[in-house]
A and B are shown apart, each in its own frame.
Chain A
């Protein structure tokens, strides 16, 4: 990081960090999390290397922070659903907190990937990838034809590829 760039970030931080933290506090209920997300917002800006060209700092900060807020809710929602799933198991499952955190991270990243495709494509894709079903089995479960399954699967793969690689 050049000195010039580093001062651009420092200025941005000095002028707008408290504002950003308050803004985030209004959006999510946990004050600690608000501090974390404000911090993450600045980290993201540093990694994008365009802090010197920002003309509307608060608008820019809030747009990035908004994305992080959405991620926060997504993570929370997945965490809760995963806790629920563990509770529903007939036998007590012992997974360390650390391992649970890693699992949630993997789920968040896959969940985002799945947002890029339609609902039916997502359903078919998960039945194939997570449950290992063949296309005739997926067709039966979803009440559609095998060629429709084929169509959804290619749709899903294309969407994933585009998100990951393009």
Chain B
């Protein structure tokens, strides 16, 4: 995907190039501006190189055939009934009865992702509600027969809605280690060093891709998948969903584990000394204020928080 060069483009040069390109694309550029752009390009080889790259990007679009805008803006923005009606008009010789299967292209293809510290709530067209936690990437693939969510990385909760589509489509989530098939439910999945699934309403069937085993996980229970298979059923811990309300909920949580959790939501590192990693922490902590949380920990535990920079924090014994 990236070009062979190792160094990142100077952001000032890039912004200038983009500003000039935009000026010329606006349809409003004056002769003075055209001359100014030419001068800027000639100022240095780096300017010209970045300019040519922007030109190369544009030419990929200009090489596309007629109708491409229709195709590229099709997802969720195309009125399928209008398209079907036009198809009927076009195929006037053949009488067509609109049955359930004539929904035809009921294909939804969309991806959602969050960056570090970002959380997102998404409602899918069938009414299913997704919450994405920090650093999470999902793909949504709905077609005539299935509703599939692919969890590439991160943590989500899913609240399924009954399928409004005439043919009920099963909903499943693919993770790196296995499939979670929803049986009308509210559940939580985290895909990281292990893949964990907890069910808070209804049930899911969890299948391990590598080992082929399947397990029914019902409301109030959770399982953990690792390389070797699906672990035993355990009681589901509702605290894992605290982030959907912008909090971390700790109940006698070892400090080391808590700080590793907190670290996920911010760029930078939080180091916990072994000497204090086992201290138990309880409480409800807001996710949007790292300073506040670290202060609170300093108040309630015999620890000292040292900030070497915004991106390096170390928690040690006092």
Contact = CB atoms under 8 A, between A and B. Distances in A.
Physical interaction between A and B: yes
Contact of A85 (B28, B62, B70, B143): B70
Interface string B61-91: 1111101111111110010000100110010
A164 B176 contact: no
Contacts of B145: 29
A130 B64 contact: yes
Contacts of B65: 103
Contacts of B54: 157, 161
Given A19-B210, A110-B64, A66 B152 contact: yes
Interface in A134-149: 134-137, 146
A165 B109 contact: no
B174 interface: yes
Contacts of A128: 25
Interface in B142-166: 143, 145, 148, 150, 152
A58 B210 contact: yes
Given A136-B27, A150-B22, A106 B64 contact: yes
- What DSSP secondary structure best describes chain B's contact surface? mixed
A59 to B, nearest CB: 5
Interface residues of A, number: 62
A78 B14 CA distance: 31
Nearest to B27: A134
Contacts of B105: 77, 80-81, 84
Nearest to A84: B83
A98 interface: no
Given A59-B177, A63-B176, A135-B26, A126 B72 contact: yes
B53 interface: yes
Contact of A154 (B22, B60, B109): B22
Given A73-B141, A137-B27, A107 B68 contact: yes
Interface string B182-193: 000000000000
B57 interface: yes
B26 A107 contact: no
Interface centre among B60, B71, B141, B209 (most CB of A within 10 A): B71
Contacts, number: 151
Q: On chain B, which size bracket covers the interface?
A: 35 or more
B209 A154 contact: no
Interface in A80-129: 80-82, 84-89, 103, 106-107, 109-111, 113-115, 122-123, 126-129
A66 B67 contact: no
A123 B176 CA distance: 33
A157 B78 CA distance: 25
A27 B141 CA distance: 11
B64 A160 contact: no
B109 A74 contact: yes
- What DSSP secondary structure best describes chain A's contact surface? helix
B18 interface: yes
Contacts of B314: none
Interface string A6-34: 00000000000001000100110100000
Contacts of B179: 26
Contacts of A62: 176-177, 209
A122 B61 CA distance: 12
Contact of A165 (B9, B72, B86): B9
A88 B87 contact: yes
Interface string B113-134: 0000000000000000000000
A53 interface: no
Given A70-B139, A85-B71, A56 B227 contact: yes
A73 B9 CA distance: 33
A51 interface: no
B111 interface: yes
26 contacts: A27-B174, A59-B176, A66-B150, A66-B152, A70-B150, A77-B75, A81-B70, A87-B90, A88-B83, A88-B87, A106-B63, A107-B64, A110-B68, A130-B64, A135-B28, A136-B28, A146-B26, A153-B25, A158-B14, A161-B14, A163-B1, A164-B2, A164-B56, A165-B2, A166-B8, A166-B9
